[in-house]
Chain A
């Protein structure tokens, strides 16, 4: 029996699914929204009183951070490493420059700004100093953090870790999905891949166990700034929304955090380069939809279809 709990958090739609032996859902499932609320209060850049916002208001001084923020920061470091710097939380200032300065639900879809656009590369995360023993982070002047998708992936992963002792579990955090073991029947979880061109339609189904899957795309979260269509995936080399032929990239990886980072990297790299990059890592598989409607399937994705 699958017990589903949809709710809203982190600016998106969430869905927790727990397979239970009985008709009544385990009470632990009801706690998931509270967990997300706590994590959002720590990790959101849109809440001025969040721990992350407080950290971003400091510079050149070590700040002791909570276990949650430290953990996500460590995953952000890993994401930057595995993507060769393409996915970094230091893109916040570039994101603000591009106009993404408030929660997407409140963001004006049409913006006119009159300052000159400054094209600057994003600071690498290596400029940030941290002390593992004291669990402190020290931001240099002018560097600010936005965990974005890493935080969502981390939250999905945490939820599965906490719930899996009660049965098979799946947590979908706005498209970033963490999956525990197969269902009690031995069947894999079936996950649809959304068609970016036709609303509320899946164009593929993946059969997955104990892994993560995430999709990064520019079919949503986009706005118009001074006549230019902008989106939220920043290329750290230019400090601008990535100029790419990819509409959406879906990646399957051992964890949802890796899947999320890899999907974003593919989107920034572009279709052919992104496919090559996926193929070069034996732990990754993916589906890349280009803006012209062509779709690339990586070699290893076949095992999930």
Chain B
């Protein structure tokens, strides 16, 4: 006579319930979150294409000196630490003046990235 199968204990039932819950959560996630993510990605790509970075609005030249955040670490080749100047630039200076003077006529040409 075959042995009578052992009765399921409470641990088995817990495992079955947990597995079922996880499977249900995954199904629902894919059902609702999936399409949203695809459309969000598409939307983000469209935005990236349609809205290339715009130059900042030209404003009256305002130059504000702020406390420099000097690089830390060893100073290469000795000498004084770099006297960094950080300028917050909110508009073009329009070809004159500059940091510490430098006027005296318009430049003959300009350097910029090509």
**B-binding residues in A (CB < 8 A):** 2, 11-12, 15, 17, 110, 149, 152, 170, 172, 174-177, 189-199, 201-207, 213-221, 224, 226-229, 248, 250, 272-273, 275-276, 279-280, 282, 289, 293-299, 302, 305
Q: How far is the CB of B19 from chain A (nearest CB, A)?
A: 35
Contact B113 A276, beta carbon cutoff 8 Å:
no
Given known pairs A191-B107, A205-B107, the reply for A276 and B71 (CB within 8 Å) is yes
A296 to B112, CA, bound (A): 16
Instruction: Indicate if B23 sits at the interface (CB-CB under 8 A).
Output: no
A295 to B102, CA, bound (A): 17
- Residues B56-102 near A (CB distance < 8 A): 56, 58, 69, 71, 73, 76-77, 80, 82-102
Q: Which residues of B contact A203 (CB under 8 A)?
A: 89, 92-93, 98
Chain A residue nearest to B44 in the complex (CB): A227
Q: Is the CB of A189 within 8 A of B45?
A: no
The 0/1 profile, CB within 8 Å of A marked 1, for residues 16-54 of chain B is: 000000000000000000000000000011001100110
Q: Compute how far the CA of A250 lies from the CA of B113 in the bound complex, rounded to whole angstroms.
A: 9
Contact A295:B108 (CB < 8 A) given known A198-B91, A248-B113: no
**Residues in chain A near residue B14, CB distance under 8 A:** none
Q: How far is the CB of B110 from chain A (nearest CB, A)?
A: 4
B residues apposed to A, CB below 8 Å: 44-45, 48-49, 52-53, 55-56, 58, 69, 71, 73, 76-77, 80, 82-114
Residues of B within 8 A of A206 (CB): 102
- Write 18 A-B pairs (CB below 8 A) sorted by A numbering: A11-B114, A12-B114, A15-B109, A17-B109, A110-B49, A175-B110, A175-B112, A192-B95, A197-B56, A198-B55, A204-B98, A215-B112, A217-B112, A220-B114, A275-B82, A276-B76, A282-B77, A297-B85
Min CB–CB distance B64 → chain A (angstroms): 10
Do A297 and B99 contact each other (CB < 8 Å), given the known contacts A190-B104, A279-B82? Answer: yes
**Interface on chain A toward B: helix, strand, loop, or mixed SS?**
strand
Cα(A15)–Cα(B110), bound, Å: 10
The answer on a CB contact under 8 Å between A205 and B111 is no
**A152 closest partner in B (C-beta):** B114
Which A residues are in CB contact (< 8 Å) with B44?
Answer: 227
The answer to whether B92 and A190 have CB atoms under 8 Å apart is no
Q: Which residues of A contact B107 (CB under 8 A)?
A: 190-192, 202, 205
* Closest-CB distance, B70 to chain A (whole angstroms): 9
Establish whether residues B98 and A305, one from each chain, have CB atoms under 8 Å apart when the complex forms: yes
**Of A177, A190, A217, which is in contact with the most chain B CB atoms at under 10 Å from its CB?**
A190
Partner of A221, one of B76, B105, B113: B113
Q: Kindly report which residue of chain A lies nearest to residue B68, judged by CB atoms.
A: A296
How far, in angstroms, from A289 to B99 measured CA to CA in the complex? 14
What separation, in Å, do the CA atoms of A273 and B88 have in the docked complex?
19
Chain B residues within 8 Å of A276, by CB: 71, 73, 76, 82
Contact (Cβ within 8 A) B86 A216: no
* Cβ A189 vs Cβ B95 within 8 A: no
Contacts A220-B114, A298-B82, A305-B101 given; does A201 touch B92 at CB 8 Å: yes
Whether B55 and A199, one on each chain, are in contact in the complex, defined by CB atoms closer than 8 angstroms, is: yes
Select A280's contact among B77, B80, B99, beta carbons within 8 Å. B77
Q: Do the beta carbons of A204 and B108 come within 8 Å of each other?
A: no
Please, how many angstroms separate the alpha-carbon atoms of A258 and B69 in the complex? 28
Q: How far apart sit A204 and B23, CA to CA, in the bound complex (Å)?
A: 63
Minimal Cβ-Cβ distance residue in B for A282? B77
Decide if A207 touches B111 in the complex (CB within 8 Å).
Answer: no
Q: B96 — which chain A residues lie within 8 A by C-beta? A: 205
Quote the shortest CB–CB distance from B20 to chain A (angstroms). Answer: 37
A224 touching B113 by the CB < 8 A rule? no
